């Protein structure tokens, strides 16, 4: 029996793959990933020769491919991470978000449901979602929890909300064993350099401007990706069917404070810039349309019921993340040039 990990060549997916291979020595996994601009097989390099790991390049909207995959491999667990994930891109063009996040989730649910009925497999479907489905908090509002009403504000969060509802409906109507997690902002190794933390780290290292949206006072709750992966495994292995779990880092920070903290860290870790401390690189730019003001998560349900809470210290994890980007210049350069797409042909052609 294998677990299927969709989106396993992306940021969180690749961290999850490495954790499973490291910590669950009996577990086989199959990664299904379309390798969009955000998917990079270099993220999975360490897994490539592991006999318990297999990579399939394919799209979750391709129902024929999904049916043949479920027929060929006995899959009793799905970790569904494949998605279009960047809010700014969804504002420019929401089409791919509807296709992958909504239609893709529907296709995957249907393929898993059909296979599990036909093969009499008791499978579990873990749907990885976001806190953004709950909308935006005011400064005095209590944090989001599992009982917060849905109020998505961006095309990205609307598409994720739709996918959450499809998962809920599949459990309610067809009795599928599903678990949904809603998590706050992640950071750590392998994050594509378009999200805030890697953008700021990479630009600050190179002495480039640091584009802060609006007044810089939007608040996000940050979670180290290793803590998120641990929460996903906990929810999959111990969560109650049909339930949702909110996952957060207990690290609410206004963006400008975080950018300043990164500047100070990088000033300490690499050569100083000739023109002064890196805080001087901060440049306020036009705000994101519809920019959610504040996210915060009450994760007491998963803590109480399943015993998970974040374990990494925020500042220590930020330092490790900066060091990771310093150590992976080649990876970064290939992401920025788009070259990594050739990696597939060089290393995987004929093997997937
Ligand atoms: P990512 O953009 O880094 O990776 C997404 C992966 O999905 C890529 O490898 C991409 O190639 C693949 N993919 C995209 N469309 C596909 C398709 N149609 N078929 C198959 N594969 C496809 O995303 P991430 O940051 O790792 O996020 C993973 C999941 O976690 C997403 O569902 C996201 O909504 C959710 N999430 C992310 C965060 C965060 O802070 N990054 C927080 C909460 C929830
Ligand atoms: O250059 C930037 N400057 C800036 O000020 C970027 C890229 C972002 N920002 C701001 C916008 C947000 O307030 O920083 C904050 C974080 O932005 P992102 O990294 O784009 O994350 P966010 O929009 O909060 O969404 C993320 O967290 C929830 C992920 O991209 C989603 O996939 C996840 O669901």
Residue nearest to atom 15 of ligand 1 (CA): 83
Q: What is the DSSP letter of 351?
A: T
**Whether 132 is catalytic:** yes
Decide: 97 in ligand 1 pocket, CB within 6 A: no
Q: How far apart are CA 7 and CA 79, in angstroms?
A: 9
Beta bridge partners of 5: 31, 79
Q: How far apart are CA 58 and CA 218, in angstroms?
A: 36
Three-state DSSP at 109 gives helix
Three-state DSSP at 21 gives helix
Which residue is listed with tokens 């306020």?
284
Q: How far apart are CA 249 and CA 118, in angstroms?
A: 40
| Biggest distance spanned by C-alpha atoms of the chain | 66
Dihedral angle over CA of 192, 195, 201, 207, nearest 10:
100
Q: How far apart are CA 265 and CA 251, in angstroms?
A: 17
Q: What is the mean pLDDT of each run of 10 residues along the chain (352 residues)?
A: 98 98 97 95 94 97 98 98 97 96 98 98 98 98 98 98 98 98 98 95 94 97 98 98 98 98 98 96 96 98 98 98 96 78 54 42
Q: Would you tell me how many other CB atoms lie within 10 Å of the CB of residue 293? A: 15
Dihedral angle over CA of 13, 15, 18, 21, nearest 10:
-60
Catalytic hit among 28, 84, 156, 295: 156
Distance 196 CA to ligand 2 centre (A): 5
DSSP states of 160-222 as a string?
HHHHHHHHHHHHHHH--EEEEEEE-EEESTT--TTSHHHHHHHHHHHT--EEEETTS--EEEE
Continuous segment of H or E residues that includes residue 338 = none
Distance 338 CA to ligand 2 centre (A): 21
**Whether 131 is catalytic:** yes
Catalytic hit among 28, 33, 59, 132: 132
Distance 60 CA to ligand 2 centre (A): 25
Asked whether the beta carbons of 53 and 19 are under 8 A apart, the reply is no
The number of the ligand 1 atom at minimal distance from the alpha carbon of 223 is 40
Distance 27 CA to ligand 2 centre (A): 33
Q: Please choose, from the candidates 31, 68, 60, 25, the residue with its C-alpha nearest in 3D space to the C-alpha of residue 48.
A: 31
The pTM score is: 0.97
Q: Please choose, from the candidates 226, 248, 253, the residue with its C-alpha nearest in 3D space to the C-alpha of residue 303.
A: 248
Q: How far apart are CA 293 and CA 87, in angstroms?
A: 14
**Whether 226 is catalytic:** no
Residue nearest to atom 24 of ligand 2 (CA): 185
Decide: 43 in ligand 1 pocket, CB within 6 A: no
Three-state DSSP at 220 gives strand
Q: What local confidence, expressed as pLDDT, does residue 333 receive?
A: 85
């Amino acid at each position: 029996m294998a677990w299927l990990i969709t989106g396993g060549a992306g940021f969180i997916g690749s961290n999850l793959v490495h954790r499973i291979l490291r910590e669950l020595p009996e577990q086989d996994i199959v990664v299904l990933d379309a390798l969009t601009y955000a998917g990079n097989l270099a993220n999975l390099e360490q897994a490539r020769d592991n006999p318990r790991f297999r990579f399939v390049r394919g799209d979750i909207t391709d129902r024929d491919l999904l049916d043949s995959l479920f027929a060929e491999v006995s899959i009793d667990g799905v970790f569904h991470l494949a998605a279009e994930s960047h809010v700014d891109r969804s504002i420019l063009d929401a089409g791919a978000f509807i296709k992958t996040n909504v239609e893709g989730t529907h296709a995957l649910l249907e393929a898993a449901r059909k296979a599990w009925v036909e093969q009499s497999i008791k499978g579990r479907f873990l749907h990885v979602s976001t806190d953004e489905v709950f909308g935006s908090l005011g400064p005095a509002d209590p944090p989001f929890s599992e009982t917060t009403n849905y109020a998505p504000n961006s095309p990205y969060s609307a598409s994720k909300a739709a996918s959450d509802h499809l998962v809920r409906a599949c459990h309610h109507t067809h009795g599928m064993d599903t678990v949904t997690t809603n998590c706050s902002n992640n950071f750590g190794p392998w994050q594509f350099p378009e999200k805030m933390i890697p953008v700021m780290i990479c630009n600050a290292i190179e002495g480039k401007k640091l584009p802060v949206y609006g007044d810089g006072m939007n608040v996000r709750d940050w979670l180290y990706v290793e803590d998120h992966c641990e929460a996903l495994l906990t929810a999959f292995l111990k969560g109650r069917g049909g339930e949702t779990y909110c996952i957060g880092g207990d690290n609410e920070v206004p963006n400008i404070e975080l950018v300043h903290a990164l500047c100070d860290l990088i000033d300490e870790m690499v050569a100083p810039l000739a023109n002064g401390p890196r805080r001087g690189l901060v440049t306020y730019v036009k705000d994101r349309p519809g920019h959610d003001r504040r996210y915060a998560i009450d994760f007491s349900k998963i803590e109480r019921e399943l015993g998970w809470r974040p374990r990494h210290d925020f500042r220590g994890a930020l330092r490790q993340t900066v060091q990771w980007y310093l150590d992976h210049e080649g990876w970064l350069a290939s992401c920025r040039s788009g070259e990594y797409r050739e990696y597939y042909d060089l290393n995987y052609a004929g093997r997937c």
